[in-house]
Amino acid sequence: MASSSSPGYLIYDPQTLSFSNIFSILFYPGEFLNYEFVTCNLPDPKFKSFYYRLMMVVTWIIQKLLLAFGSNLKWVGDKVEYTLNLLWLNGGVLGLFLNYIRGSLKNPKQGTANFRSIISHTDERTNLKEASSNLGESVTVGTIGMINTLDLCAIIAKLAYENKAYVENVVSNHWKMHFVEFYDSFNETLQERATQSFIFCDRQEDAQLIVVAFRGTEPFNPKDWLTDFDISWFEIRKVGKVHQGFMQALGMQDKKVYETGWPKNLSRDEENRKFAYYAIREKLRALLKHNKNAKILVTGHSLGGALAILFPCLLVLHQEDAILNSLTDVYTFGQPRVGDASFGNYMKKHFIMNHIRYKRVVYRYDIVPRLPFKEPIINFSHFGGCIYYTSWYNIEVLDKEPNENYLNILYFPTMHFHALLDLLRALTIGITEGKDFEESWCSILLRIVGLFIPGAGVASHSPRDYVNGARLWKMVTVKVKKISHSGKSTS
């Protein structure tokens, strides 16, 4: 049990969770802390509500399935991406056949500049909108606020899913900007390099803009989905409760205690393991020494959005004032919940103090912003409002997105109906909006699959819709709305 001065933690280990535990918790709840898969320094939480226990059990069953079939999911993903790249490199099915006959078959190779992830196959766009396409030539301290930041961040967050060679090629050769570094960072819990990010500047000398982008949840990566569904947390004194899995992805070394998990400076051995937060922080320090007027922008989609919003939290805790003074914007797309209301209030206060703009963008019924599942499972909540895309990329500025509880079956008919509308629009959007918006067969297939997944939340999570939204959004009137507990919005 924690003392009054000791921050709490509650950690679940799905690997040691048995199905007999699940049955027992659901129907014969006893002392929760007696279960081997639970580590906690708080008094035993009395989960008396059957609904509460049911929602927790659903979460754990999803995690158990990911653990059981994760290797199969990864294998399928590798085969799918290889096949998509094989077809693309050889010009489609007919080109593949002809090249095979000629003996000139082009075989895809992972890690090269022409190997694309499934995200790129659903949306191959790398071009920036006109307002930001000449970024390297036009940005000054006086004009930096004129950049189409929403479009820039949506494209960058999508690009973060690609390999280093692909990213460097796009930044250096397509955008004519300065690629700085790509990071493949260590996760202490997973004991592997599982966190990817990259940094680039608008120019090599006298840079006015520095961009940090974190990779999000890869569709066929079970460990990413395990992290998204994790409901473990730890408490930071005077800050609040924070998602444990996301913090570990950034480089936390102790599962339970902030002070030992996040030292301000690392030992030499720890430095060699290249934890994401520390590696990026050191590079930003160096870049700001040589580019004193540069502004910093941080972005990410999905899991990458969670890391993007937690990164400045650590900068605040470690009093990295030089970096915070240069950090102007944090844009996240389809970001999961990362902390409780106390954490949100702490971040809002420091964002105001440091003049940092935070924009959280949600497309329709995207499942990930509704993860981890909210109360009664965990008391995490978003903060800072929400740019919410409704039908046909219309924008509403909300306090919170509708349907905070993704498992609310009352929303299922509406979600499936809008998923069908999205599919129908995808078939014609290339005609109505121009060739830049024409959807690939891979993207259309994803939308079809979305019709059969409860709630259609996976299809709504595609980075493609976030890029489309950044380019096609419409807002006739600006309305700041709050969502009532019933899910209805009020002006």
State the catalytic residues. Answer: 302, 366, 461
Closest to 463 measured CA to CA, from 480, 486, 483, 446: 446
Q: 84 exposed, middle or buried (CB, 10 Å; 0-12, 13-18, 19+)?
A: buried
Closest to 402 measured CA to CA, from 475, 478, 491, 488: 488
CA–CA separation, 261 and 251 (whole Å): 8
Asked if residue 247 lies in contact with residue 313, where contact means CB atoms within 8 angstroms, the answer is no
DSSP state of 9: E
Q: 418 exposed, middle or buried (CB, 10 Å; 0-12, 13-18, 19+)?
A: middle
Instruction: Please state, as a whole number, how many other Cβ atoms lie within 10 Å of the Cβ of residue 268.
Output: 6
Distances (CA, A) of 50 to 27, 54, 247, 253: 8, 6, 30, 35
Closest to 462 measured CA to CA, from 421, 427, 419: 419
Residue type, 38: V
Closest to 127 measured CA to CA, from 434, 431, 442: 434
Asked if residue 194 lies in contact with residue 249, where contact means CB atoms within 8 angstroms, the answer is yes
Residues in the chain: 491
CA–CA separation, 390 and 412 (whole Å): 16
What is the enclosing helix (H) or strand (E) of 51?
helix 50-89
CA–CA separation, 323 and 281 (whole Å): 8
Alpha carbons within 13 A on the beta-carbon side of 333:
34
What is the enclosing helix (H) or strand (E) of 61?
helix 50-89
Closest to 213 measured CA to CA, from 290, 311, 338, 355: 311
